[in-house]
Amino acid sequence: MRPNVPRYCLLALLLAGIAAFVAGGGHRFLSFDQLVAHKDALIAWTDARPVEAAAIWVTAYLFLGLCGLPGSTVLNVSAGLLFGFEEGLALVVSASTLASSCAFLSFRYLFFDWVEERARRRFPHLIEGLEREGLYFVFTLRLLPVIPWSATNLVVAVSPVRFWPCLLVSLVALMPRYLLYVYAGTHLGDLQSPKDLWSPRLVVLLSLLAVVPWLVHWGVRRWKRRRAR
């Protein structure tokens, strides 16, 4: 079997999943409005079949992550609605970590060589910078609420950061989002739209937090340079 055949098969599988999601109207059903409209029925079904509900929820999260599809915010909120804060948070952390891992490995296998070859030729200094400070880059991407989770999965996969450090930093950076979404899900009746989750003050706060590691890193480098003189 030629080396490219497994890659083409994986790519075809992901494209088929995306096509099935779009053709089946997944982008319409996996929405905040649909969650609010059917929350009573969803809660009743989850209470009657808690194991099946958790399994289906985790499977949906894995599917979205592996195919790079939107909708993780609705799933995060639904975890608080359906399973409560503690169990919902545990499910979100577990499922998103597993989904991010699968997406990272799949996207890296599919696209890393192609992207790296062209990026090193055209932007060698950028690649060198990412190799040195890639984890700061990952932390910033994951923490900023304006960047979708599915998009950051693809971006970090084609960057030169290593898998395990990337996974740990991603978990730390995403935890504020998880806490907010799951807690909001437990109070879904108080929300009118997803925009209610993000006040301007909260967006600014998370943006400032994303800058903190860079400031610390800059300070440490400057301190080392002074000591070396």
Give me the pLDDT at residue 108, please: 93
Place of tokens 């898998």: 163
Q: How many beta carbons lie within 10 A of that of residue 155, not counting itself?
A: 13
Q: How far apart are CA 199 and CA 186, in angstroms?
A: 18
- Name the residue with higher pLDDT: 148 or 98: 98
Helix and strand tally (H, E) in the chain? 12, 0
The answer to whether residues 114 and 144 touch, using CB atoms and an 8 Å cutoff, is: no
Q: What is the pLDDT of residues 154-204, one digit of tens each?
A: 889 988 899 999 999 899 889 888 988 898 888 876 665 556 665 565 566
**For residue range 10-68, what is the model confidence (pLDDT) as tens digits?**
999 999 999 999 998 887 888 888 888 888 999 999 999 999 999 999 999 999 999 98
